[in-house]
Structure 1
Amino acid sequence: MTAVEGKCTPRFEPLRAALAAHLESGDELGAAIVVDVDGVMEVDLWGGHADEARSAPWGEDTVVNLWSATKTLSSLAALVLVDRGALDLDRPVAEYWPEFGAQGKQDIEVRHVLAHTSGLSGWQQPFTMDDLYDWPTASARLAEQAPWWKPGTASGYHMQTQGQLVGELVRRVSGRTLAEFVETEIAGPLDADVQIGARETDWRRIAPLVAPPIAGIPADLDLEAIFTRTLLGSPARDEHVDTPQWRHAEFGALNGHGNARGMARALSLISRRGEANGRRLLSPETVDRIFDVQADGVDLVLGVPVRWGMGYALADPKTIPDMPTGTICFWVGRGGSIVMMDLDRRVTFAYTMNRLGDGLLGSERTHGYIRHVYEALDATN
């Protein structure tokens, strides 16, 4: 059996065994799993390899590009500003970003951006990676754009635009970039190994992602469908990741870097109702706002039922059957990474890996690990 390093309390031994089995079979290349129970890391495991050639071990401080799990950090940054009174979830975005009010967007509120209901799920074509790499251009294009459906009436996953929208709000009200804000106001105070983009000094410990092949876009797709417009208006692809330009960029929806331990240390702030690692960054009232349901139905982009709160999806058996109901919020990254916050049990579960799996909202590995977490918790409660 492949060695798994780190620590694990006895009740979570089946979780360790599951990770070891996936590493042994090759389903996992390298991975890390953390389960934080009310501030105690009962699970802090890692193993496998950091590269496809299997020449470098996945170490204790190995990090990866988080893809859409990055959104959990960007949403947390927005909530910190909400808690400080700098942002109001129920005020129009245009009050903070006047140019945004163009094309009938004057009534889109901050909560619509966090809940993927603003109608801006992709950039209007033509829009290229060069445009995405240029922050002013990417923001200006969204400010000039009309929404693709009536804001607030339905969710349509803001695959790559949400980080730009949240990041622009953070810049407008704090005077700092999203990357700077996450570093100084979240990662630093919580001693969490997470960042937006990646400092060059950390490149040596980034495990490149190994992605499965993606089928081409069918020729008969409806070009006016929200899904198609979102996909074509979201230019970042696997080949862009792990390049210097990508790591230097600031994509609040896409290019966060971290590991399971760092994500758990940052997001346990929510599981523990605003206070973690000796620091209070959110009031319980702000945490409660996360669970104000903003959309509940089939997402126009994802095509599956998702219950959206403020910045996070909320537990729903129609979305992820292995996740129990309760006061639980979460989000996933391409390939299976996840961070899940269970406020009823004060538990935070995080999983990061470098071999991307299949599955729209987490891979089979992700769902299996979730089952093991709750089997352990239920057996001892």
Structure 2
Amino acid sequence: MADVEGFCDERFTAVREALTANLSSGADVGASVAVYLGDEPVVDLWGGQTQDGPWRRDTITNVWSITKTMTALCALMLADRGELDFHAPVARYWPEFAVAGKERVEVRHLMGHTAGLPKWTGRFNGADLYDWEKATSLLAAQEPEWEPGTESGYHALTQGYLVGEVVRRITGRTLGTFFREEVAGPLGADFHIGLPTEHDHRVAHVIPPEDAPPPAPPRHMAEVSWTSDWRRAEIPAAGGHGNARSVARIQSVMATGGGSLLSAAGCERVFEQQSDGVDRVLGTWVRFGLGYGLPSRGLPLPNPRTVAWGGWGGSIVVADLDAGMTVSYVMNRMAGGLTGDARGAGLVLAAYAGLAES
């Protein structure tokens, strides 16, 4: 049996058992799972191995698209303060954006993956991900691939630059700086968008997926996250580093109706539906609110007032406003899917089983 460390409220022993089973079977190599009820942790577990030894309490890793939920939270906070209007044209905040048929693209279209800008169509290579000005300028110049607002097409990497540039234009701060100063810092959460050098020794390298069919990126893309260039860069759709504890701590704000960061009304805006159908990029049914996935036939969740999203390889976070519960799972062994897999789903179901018994 695999050794699992941390604590687990006795109501949620099924979560510990599920993580132990994943590690013992080899489905997981190293992983962490956390459950919050309200703003209180009831599960904080970790175990397994990294490239340097045991997965420890302070181990962090690249969580890919879980980062999108952090970026969305920043935008929701600005909207709650009256500094950002989701129904305003993007060009109100970013004038250079109003070209090539994007004059009427609204901020909500960026949040809901309906802006028609799922990838860069100009000359763009991997190193350009680290050049914020180039990445955003190219997006501002290009034409949408479809009529904005009519359907979703997952903006796997571009969404972070699009929303992040709007945040920068409003606040004068980069997305990573705003997040650090307004979210992670006040909450005491060990999550980073743009990782400082002093944390490198704590990073568990992701293990690339054995099979990564389209629309997932090619397998070698996972290895890019091992580099210092990737860690230092602010890649607000995919470059965040954290663990289950930090992810759950931050997203518990959503499950508690805004917590210390949002008003209740500001939190509820996440449920403003932006799309509901087969996503052009993912090829699966997705229902997007403002920055998060909502319950749908493609993402069945027990309660309607729940938001969730997963990262490439298997990480996941679920924040249930009806139950006041947040569940997060972060791991280093990647599967091929873009938005979570059975390991995380099993842990989420185990948490709901514990909730039912409490």
Q: What TM-score comes out, normalization by structure 1 length? A: 0.91
Q: Residues 142, 265 of structure 1: CA spacing in aligned structure 2 closer, same or farther, 3 A cutoff?
A: same
RMSD across aligned positions (CA): 1.7
CA drift of 1:214 comes to 4.2
Q: Quick check: 1:358–1:364 contact (8 Å CA) kept in 2?
A: no
Deviations 1:218-271 (A, max 9, x none): xxxxxxxxx7xxx79x99922311101111111000110111111111111111
How many angstroms apart in 1 are the aligned matches of 2:213 and 2:93?
39
Q: Give the unaligned 5+ runs of structure 2.
A: none
Are 2:285 and 1:305 aligned?
yes
Are 2:33 and 1:49 aligned?
no
Are 2:278 and 1:281 aligned?
no
The residue that corresponds to 1:72 in the other structure is: 69
The residue that corresponds to 1:15 in the other structure is: 15
Q: Quick check: 2:310–2:338 contact (8 Å CA) kept in 1?
A: no
Deviations 1:72-121 (A, max 9, x none): 11111111111111111110100000000110101111111000011111
How many angstroms apart in 2 are the aligned matches of 1:268 and 1:296?
25
The residue that corresponds to 2:343 in the other structure is: 365
Q: Quick check: 2:35–2:248 contact (8 Å CA) kept in 1?
A: yes
Are 2:229 and 1:245 aligned?
yes
Q: Quick check: 2:210–2:335 contact (8 Å CA) kept in 1?
A: no
How many angstroms apart in 1 are the aligned matches of 2:155 and 2:333?
24
Q: Residues 213, 236 of structure 1: CA spacing in aligned structure 2 closer, same or farther, 3 A cutoff?
A: closer
Q: Find the residue that maps to 2:192 and give its secondary structure.
A: strand
Further displaced range: 122-131 or 105-114 = 122-131
How many angstroms apart in 2 are the aligned matches of 1:235 and 1:291?
34
How many angstroms apart in 2 are the aligned matches of 1:40 and 1:113?
32
Q: Quick check: 1:66–1:255 contact (8 Å CA) kept in 2?
A: yes
How many angstroms apart in 2 are the aligned matches of 1:360 and 1:98?
32
Question: 1:5-154, aligned counterparts within 5 Å?
Answer: 5-51=5-51, 55-154=52-151
Deviation above 6 Å: which 4+ runs of structure 1? none
Are 2:286 and 1:315 aligned?
no
Q: Residues 67, 2 of structure 1: CA spacing in aligned structure 2 closer, same or farther, 3 A cutoff?
A: same
Question: 1:184-333, aligned counterparts within 5 Å?
Answer: 184-214=181-211, 237-275=221-259, 280-316=260-296, 318-321=297-300, 323-333=301-311
How many angstroms apart in 1 are the aligned matches of 2:229 and 2:336?
26
How many angstroms apart in 2 are the aligned matches of 1:367 and 1:281?
28
Deviations 1:274-317 (A, max 9, x none): 11xxxx2111111111001110011111111111000000022x
Question: 1:173-184, aligned counterparts within 5 Å?
Answer: 173-184=170-181
Identity of aligned residues (%): 47
How many angstroms apart in 2 are the aligned matches of 1:248 and 1:144?
26
Q: Find the residue that maps to 2:313 and give its secondary structure.
A: coil
How many angstroms apart in 1 are the aligned matches of 2:211 and 2:139?
27
Q: Find the residue that maps to 1:341 and give its secondary structure.
A: strand
The amino acid across from 1:354 in the alignment is N
CA drift of 1:18 comes to 1.1
Q: Find the residue that maps to 2:271 and give its secondary structure.
A: coil
CA drift of 1:359 comes to 3.4
How many angstroms apart in 2 are the aligned matches of 1:206 and 1:245?
14
The amino acid across from 1:25 in the alignment is S
